[in-house]
Structure 1
Amino acid sequence: MRELLRDKVYLRYWLAVVISFLGDGIVKVTVIYVAADVTDSPALFIAAVVIAQLLPSGVLGAFIGPLVDRMSPRLLLVGADIARMVVVLAMIFAVNSAWLLLLLIFLEGLGKAVFETARMAAIPKVVGQHSIPAAIALFQSTVQALNLAGPLLGGFLILVAGVKLSFVVNAASFVVSALLLGSIAVLKTATVTASGPGQYWSSLHTGVTGVLGIRSLRLVAWAMVPVMLAIGLFTTNVNTQLLAGFDLPAFEFGLAQAMLGGGAVIGAFLGPTLVRRVSLTGLLAGAVALFAVSLLVLWPIDDRWPGSGLAVVCSWCALAGLAMSLVQVPVANILLRDLPEELRGRGIALLNAVMINFSIVGVLVGGVVANAVGAAASIILTGLLLLPPAVVLMVRSRHERRPAQAADTEVGALR
């Protein structure tokens, strides 16, 4: 990963994404802070903000793919940053209207959906095929760190400068990102040169059939349905478990949350080494199994709390964060390895839409299940539901290795 950061082109690309992600974190925490003053139901509004940011990627994500394949990545990335700058500046005049803020956060989420799809599709253009695992690992570890730093920076800006200036700084971050991305010449060319408005729907249809025609991508799409449901359920109920189930005070709750993020960072850094040593399907199977185990071990921990101690709870959080992060490593590598260049934007957008939609379903279902059986029981049941897909993936990974082993045997016999 150090070699990537020595590359001046990649360094500009990486810095632009870091600054853009910081902007996303600042706007999210600022809108949530404003919501506490302009609504009578801040908890409900916070949930609506989270869904409004995710909904564009889920509902509209698949329709972004043809644009990514047919247009310059530089144009899309810079355009998404500039559009979000305008949206964020508009929030300054909407601080007294919860519904207008919600609409603007939806538009900001739409800009992020375009940015994210174009960003991931552009990785091979910037780093080349041989450096994809290292680039993915660096971005995942960076994103996990920014998930902590963005809200912290947003809260600090609100404290020292106020809400309106926080929005101004946020808008400026998108401008800096746009300037950095606009200076990268390798992002100028589009993947597909086909043109004409009448070809959009044909391009969308070709993308769907093309992606589903690739066996490894069908497997990823199928496997990620229960995994994203589980992640949504866990994300919804882990805070309830920490605060109500374990009854953690503020500092210990923050420590447990930090351990979730720390585990995720470790998982991202382990990614390149594991990709080199384990097949991608085998790594996905192992990561899903580890995630299932991390949820199931809550059973003895919850029964023995507080006798098990804070260290055990923090270790559990770190294990869950590690497992969730490791799941993303093989998925991203399979996408960028097996998607043909002409389908890359549509494939990433389609599979990303599938994952986000089921994550949203998991978030919504998680609250209902927790109310019915309790947060701890819902997390443990989620772990049980992940065991069958983990077993199927393990069996599939063994079948994938057999042809390669047979080929090696035949070569040895010929010698």
Structure 2
Amino acid sequence: MKPPGARSSPPAPRPQSTHSPQSAHPPRPARLLRFPVIPELLRERVFRRYWTAQAVSLMGDQVSLIAIPLAAVLVLNADAADMGLLKTAELLPALLFSLPAGAWADRRARRRRVMIVSDLLRALLVASLPAAYALNVLTFAQLYAVAFTVGALTVLFDVCNATVFVSLVTTDRLVAGSTLLNGSRAMAFVGGPGAGGLLIQLLSAPLALLADALTFLCSGLLLARIAPAEPPPAPPAKGYATEGLRWVLRHPAMRAMFAASGTVQFFNFMFQTLFVLYATTELGLGAALLGAVLGAGAIGGLIGAGLAGRVIRGLGVGPAILAGFAGFTIPLLLVPLAAGPSWLVIALLFLAEFLSAVGVMFVDISSNSLSAALMPDALRSRITGASRTLNYGFRPLGALAGGALGTTLGLRPTLWTATAGAILCLLWLLPSPVPRIRTLPNRPTTPLPAVIPPTPAPPHTPARPSPPATPTTGLAPAATSEAATCREAPPEPDRIPDGLR
């Protein structure tokens, strides 16, 4: 790779620019270079393999999103309570294991290997469902066990994935990298539900899960062919597992984002738990039409992923987060509103899925980019685990509440409760610093004592005796000369840009 200054060193371009300074040739490269980041990322072999692994796995997940609940409904005759238990088994590991998994991952030097093993084990577990169906021994117990174990492995995968992702992109490429990943997610939303519905029609719901098992296998093989420069493992210390959680709770912007996300997660999973049952029983949608409705929402996600970068540049990253949460939650009110002729019902479902998916992409790209820029590397896996505990931990609670309310109140009243409750997430964001954040701050490299407010005995102070005003170990090499300054003034305790505290 040539250094940036190498472009001006060759003498050849200089005579061309002096010949005709007003010619049309110089502006054309300028236009082409306006959005160079996404092509550059995809031209890099390591990132391309990483991105492909994520995209393939996401496509399989969309098949399972329809196939597993339909297998429960069509093969095992599940009711609302059964669907709530199934969703709870899938999501409970995030509540139970995210904090210890984040602490465990931060002590690992090879997080990529953990991701590979997680992929391979998930492939085996998902493949066991069609095998059991073919042998006519599929039961609710196996569905619950597979959902719980796959959920636990997904927790391990995700807390490691946060560190691997930022090791592949620089701060100025975070939005571009998040756009690529969420764009592949949107493409999976476009093709996955339709492909899943078609596979279910042709093979049955359990056998369609073979596609998801194959994508896990493919993802693991692709990840085995990359070698990211991962940060070194962090040393254990007192309170190690909860440091990420304490960092999130002390950071006003992150705290508001996770509170809003947790509110959405709770009510959205009340909604998701009952949506398939509601669409198939009360609205009369078949598997193919249900896949088409979800695919229409996926088209909105693809468009939202394409527009998110422009929205972030135009509004700022914080207002884009606020707009995304509003765009995600408000259109879902159309789902319990759906009634009347079949064409009107389908039109309302299509519109709700489309608009909500646009909002989801705005939220994901902008909030993931801001979170990645704010997190210090020394705490990244633990903060990811804490965020999963705060956010994903509400999912099984929402699923249980959805199953219970769906049984007692009925499907449509429960969906009204879920969609109206999700809009309350905006109350966390409006008074917070988030709407005032316009640009991404530089990624923090300061070690742990500068991230968490100082205590009388910081966990990373040097073992050898030294004057308290001039510690030299526990600081990054570039920041060693500023040790005394960091002691005299609180050193950016939460890494918030000026004016946002």
2:158 equivalent among 105, 116, 131: 116
SS of the counterpart of 2:239? helix
2:377 equivalent among 326, 341, 345: 341
State the alpha-carbon separation in 1 of the partners of residues 67 and 345 from structure 2: 35
Shift of 1:339: 0.9
CA deviations 1:319-352 (Å, max 9, x no partner) are 2232333333333223212111111111112112
Residues 1:244 and 1:46: Cα distance change in structure 2 (over 3 Å): closer
SS of the counterpart of 1:185? coil
User: Greater shift after overlay, 62-71 or 35-44?
Assistant: 35-44
- Conserved? CA contact 2:67–2:200, under 8 Å: yes
User: Greater shift after overlay, 12-21 or 97-106?
Assistant: 97-106
State the alpha-carbon separation in 1 of the partners of residues 421 and 201 from structure 2: 43
- Conserved? CA contact 1:287–1:323, under 8 Å: yes
- Conserved? CA contact 1:211–1:343, under 8 Å: no
Is 1:355 aligned to residue 391 of structure 2?
yes
1:54 equivalent among 83, 91, 116: 91
State the alpha-carbon separation in 1 of the partners of residues 201 and 327 from structure 2: 40
Name 2:44's counterpart in structure 1.
Answer: 7
State the alpha-carbon separation in 2 of the partners of residues 352 and 277 from structure 1: 30
- Conserved? CA contact 2:129–2:138, under 8 Å: no
The unaligned stretches of length 5 or more in structure 1 are 409-415
- Conserved? CA contact 2:101–2:156, under 8 Å: yes
State the alpha-carbon separation in 1 of the partners of residues 312 and 168 from structure 2: 20
Shift of 1:24: 4.4
SS of the counterpart of 1:396? coil
What amino acid does structure 1 have at the position aligned with 2:116? V
Name 2:118's counterpart in structure 1.
Answer: 80
User: Greater shift after overlay, 387-396 or 36-45?
Assistant: 36-45
CA deviations 1:175-222 (Å, max 9, x no partner) are 4322321221225x344342xxxx376320222222322221111222
CA deviations 1:153-178 (Å, max 9, x no partner) are 56777887899987777555444322
State the alpha-carbon separation in 2 of the partners of residues 160 and 378 from structure 1: 33
Is 1:319 aligned to residue 355 of structure 2?
yes
Residues 1:153 and 1:376: Cα distance change in structure 2 (over 3 Å): closer
CA deviations 1:31-84 (Å, max 9, x no partner) are 667667974648765554433332222321222111222222222212212333
Residues 1:97 and 1:255: Cα distance change in structure 2 (over 3 Å): closer
2:233 equivalent among 192, 216, 239: 192
CA RMSD of aligned residues (A): 3.9
1:134 equivalent among 165, 168, 176: 176
Summarize the alignment of residues 242-321 of structure 1 with structure 2, pairs less than 5 Å apart: 242-243=279-280, 253-296=290-333, 302=338, 310-321=346-357
Is 1:365 aligned to residue 401 of structure 2?
yes
Is 1:218 aligned to residue 255 of structure 2?
yes
Shift of 1:9: 1.3
Residues 1:18 and 1:248: Cα distance change in structure 2 (over 3 Å): closer
Shift of 1:112: 2.0
State the alpha-carbon separation in 2 of the partners of residues 40 and 81 from structure 1: 30
CA deviations 1:338-388 (Å, max 9, x no partner) are 111111111112112222221222232234445555545444444544555
User: Greater shift after overlay, 23-32 or 344-353?
Assistant: 23-32
- Conserved? CA contact 2:87–2:399, under 8 Å: no
Residues 1:38 and 1:245: Cα distance change in structure 2 (over 3 Å): closer
Name 1:413's counterpart in structure 2.
Answer: none
Residues 1:191 and 1:379: Cα distance change in structure 2 (over 3 Å): farther
State the alpha-carbon separation in 1 of the partners of residues 365 and 196 from structure 2: 29
State the alpha-carbon separation in 1 of the partners of residues 264 and 152 from structure 2: 24
TM-score by length of 2: 0.66
State the alpha-carbon separation in 1 of the partners of residues 263 and 339 from structure 2: 26
State the alpha-carbon separation in 1 of the partners of residues 67 and 227 from structure 2: 34
- Conserved? CA contact 1:231–1:324, under 8 Å: no
- Conserved? CA contact 1:282–1:393, under 8 Å: no
- Conserved? CA contact 2:301–2:361, under 8 Å: yes
- Conserved? CA contact 2:317–2:370, under 8 Å: yes
Shift of 1:246: 5.1
Relative CO higher for 1 or 2, CA cutoff 8 Å, sep ≥ 6? 1
Residues 1:277 and 1:158: Cα distance change in structure 2 (over 3 Å): closer
Shift of 1:279: 3.4
Shift of 1:124: 1.4
User: Greater shift after overlay, 120-129 or 360-369?
Assistant: 360-369
Shift of 1:91: 5.4
TM-score by length of 1: 0.78
State the alpha-carbon separation in 1 of the partners of residues 210 and 272 from structure 2: 30
Residue correspondences, number: 398
Residues 1:353 and 1:390: Cα distance change in structure 2 (over 3 Å): same
State the alpha-carbon separation in 1 of the partners of residues 437 and 70 from structure 2: 52
Name 1:16's counterpart in structure 2.
Answer: 53
SS of the counterpart of 1:60? helix
Shift of 1:92: 7.0
State the alpha-carbon separation in 2 of the partners of residues 241 and 29 from structure 1: 13
Name 1:106's counterpart in structure 2.
Answer: 148
- Conserved? CA contact 1:123–1:132, under 8 Å: no
User: Greater shift after overlay, 34-43 or 3-12?
Assistant: 34-43
The unaligned stretches of length 5 or more in structure 2 are 1-37, 439-496
Kindly indicate which of the two structures has a greater share of residues assigned to helix. Answer: 1
Residues 1:391 and 1:176: Cα distance change in structure 2 (over 3 Å): closer
User: Greater shift after overlay, 321-330 or 112-121?
Assistant: 321-330
State the alpha-carbon separation in 2 of the partners of residues 160 and 307 from structure 1: 25
Residues 1:261 and 1:47: Cα distance change in structure 2 (over 3 Å): farther
User: Greater shift after overlay, 380-389 or 116-125?
Assistant: 380-389
Identity score, percent: 22
Residues 1:162 and 1:293: Cα distance change in structure 2 (over 3 Å): closer
Shift of 1:18: 2.4
Residues 1:388 and 1:13: Cα distance change in structure 2 (over 3 Å): closer
- Conserved? CA contact 2:319–2:437, under 8 Å: no
- Conserved? CA contact 2:95–2:388, under 8 Å: yes
